[in-house]
Amino acid sequence: DGGITQSPKYLFRKEGQNVTLSCEQNLNHDAMYWYRQDPGQGLRLIYYSQIVNDFQKGDIAEGYSVSREKKESFPLTVTSAQKNPTAFYLCASSMSSGRQYFGPGTRLTVT
Amino acid sequence: GIQVEQSPPDLILQEGANSTLRCNFSDSVNNLQWFHQNPWGQLINLFYIPSGTKQNGRLSATTVATERYSLLYISSSQTTDSGVYFCAVKGMDTNAGKSTFGDGTTLTVKP
């Protein structure tokens, strides 16, 4: 069954803790992306990676970190430096810079 | 960076009605996509359409790149069409991975 998986679906953390969100794809896509969505808003790009062992900052990278050690995996760490981490996080992948496919998302709540 | 404006922001229809959603963008693009986000947050890629016209069932899309806009047509709407429709573009002068999303059109189809 091909696609993009994100886990967990819901995540709760205390303020001051780092948390890592998982994103895995078996579509053999080269590029992977992380977006953040706040209620009633569009998507904003956090980080993206076009090839293994390489990634670039998006528009709102501060307080986040990523790694791309394997083609199929692109985990996102929300650090304690992120001032407003509560949001819906979406992972996507694509071949090169083409059509994007999204995972089901992770809803993170930090209290 | 490139600006993306979607209209209308909200649209309420009776089942069976037709609708047109618009996406205006401020600069030349080499990638334009339309997405549907369902009430559970899942984003589905409807069209990859940097130019021209495409049709998929009751949905069709047209991008006029020279005039910097794209239209999404929904015919014979159904309640399952409800959700948020996003347009996302990649400008010619941006890094290959950076898509910019509009704020979306929220569509409600009433039975």
Q: Which residue of A has its CA nearest to B43?
A: A102
pLDDT of res. A103: 96
Q: Which residues have a Cβ under 8 Å from the Cβ of A97 and sit 6 or more positions away?
A: A31, A50, B30, B31, B90, B96, B97
pLDDT, greater one: B92 or A90: A90
**Long-range contacts from B77-82, C-beta under 8 angstroms, 24+ separation:** B77/B13, B77/B15, B77/B16, B77/B17, B77/B18, B77/B19, B77/B107, B77/B109, B78/B15, B78/B109, B79/B15, B79/B109, B79/B110, B79/B111, B80/B109, B81/B36, B81/B107, B81/B109, B82/B39, B82/B107, B82/B108, B82/B109
pLDDT higher than 80, residue B93: no
Residues 56-95, chain B: which have Cβ within 8 Å of A? 86, 88, 90, 95
Task: Looking at the complex, report in whole angstroms how far the Cα of residue B13 sits from the nearest Cα belonging to chain A.
Answer: 20
- Contact list in A for residue B95 (CB cut-off 8 A) is 56
Helix (H) or strand (E) holding B96: none
Amino acid in position A6: Q
E-only strand ranges, chain B = 4-7, 10-14, 19-25, 29-37, 43-48, 52-56, 59-64, 69-74, 83-91, 100-101, 105-110
Q: Does A104 touch chain B (CB under 8 A)?
A: yes
E-only strand ranges, chain A = 4-7, 10-13, 19-25, 31-37, 43-51, 54-57, 64-66, 76-78, 87-94, 100-102, 106-110
Task: Looking at the complex, report in whole angstroms how far the Cα of residue A87 sits from the nearest Cα belonging to chain B.
Answer: 12
Contact between A92 and A100 (Cβ < 8 Å): yes
Cα three-residue angle A42-A27-A46, rounded to 5 degrees: 30
Q: Does A43 touch chain B (CB under 8 A)?
A: yes
- For residues B8-25, give the mean pLDDT: 97
Residue pointed to by tokens 């960076």? B1
Which band of pLDDT confidence, cut at 50, 70 and 90, is reported for residue B43?
very high
A67-76 tens-digit pLDDT: 999 999 999 9
A20-53 tens-digit pLDDT: 999 999 999 999 999 999 988 899 999 999 999 9
Contact between B28 and B67 (Cβ < 8 Å): no
Mean pLDDT estimate for chain A: 93
